[in-house]
């Protein structure tokens, strides 16, 4: 089974999960509106924190893959070991960076209303 055979089931699974997530989110928002509450006030302001974590995680993942490839070409390590170690190091570093950045700002100052 090569990589192309995996992409179709993986894409289908991701599509199903995202449709279920969006349907549940819509149902939750409609129940809040039915109770007379504003759904935007209930978010808690964690969207920006989640976006920061996701962005830094993906940057760390990309840097890990890139440096793992470089390390696999120029060292005597096995390619799987160099890729895995660099991905873990860079994604862990990115998550630590996001932790310290979010710790610096309290939750009420993270989300700025225009």
Task: Give 37-80 pLDDT, tens digit per residue.
Answer: 887 776 655 567 788 888 899 999 999 999 999 998 998 888 88
Please check whether residues 61 and 103 belong to one and the same domain. yes
Please check whether residues 53 and 109 belong to one and the same domain. yes
Please check whether residues 55 and 110 belong to one and the same domain. yes
d(CA 98, CA 105): 11
Please check whether residues 54 and 108 belong to one and the same domain. yes
DSSP string, 45-59: T-HHHHHHHHHHHHH
Please check whether residues 70 and 100 belong to one and the same domain. yes
More confident residue, 64 or 106: 64
Please check whether residues 114 and 59 belong to one and the same domain. yes
Structure tokens at 88: 């873990």
Q: How many domains does the chain have?
A: 2
Burial class (CB in 10 A: 0-12, 13-18, 19+), 107: exposed
What is the domain extent for residue 25?
Answer: 1-43
DSSP-based three-state secondary structure for 1: coil
Please check whether residues 19 and 48 belong to one and the same domain. no
């Amino acid at each position: 089974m090569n990589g192309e055979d995996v992409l179709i089931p993986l894409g289908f699974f991701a599509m199903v999960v995202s449709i279920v997530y969006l349907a549940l989110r819509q149902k939750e928002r409609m129940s809040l509106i039915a109770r007379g509450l504003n759904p935007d006030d209930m978010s808690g302001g964690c969207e920006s924190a989640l976006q920061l974590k996701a962005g830094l995680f993906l940057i760390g993942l990309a840097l890990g893959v890139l440096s793992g490839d470089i390390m696999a070409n120029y060292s005597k390590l096995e390619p799987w070991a160099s890729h895995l170690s660099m991905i873990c190091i860079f994604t862990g570093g990115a998550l630590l960076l996001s932790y310290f950045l979010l710790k610096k700002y309290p939750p009420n100052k993270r989300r700025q209303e225009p």
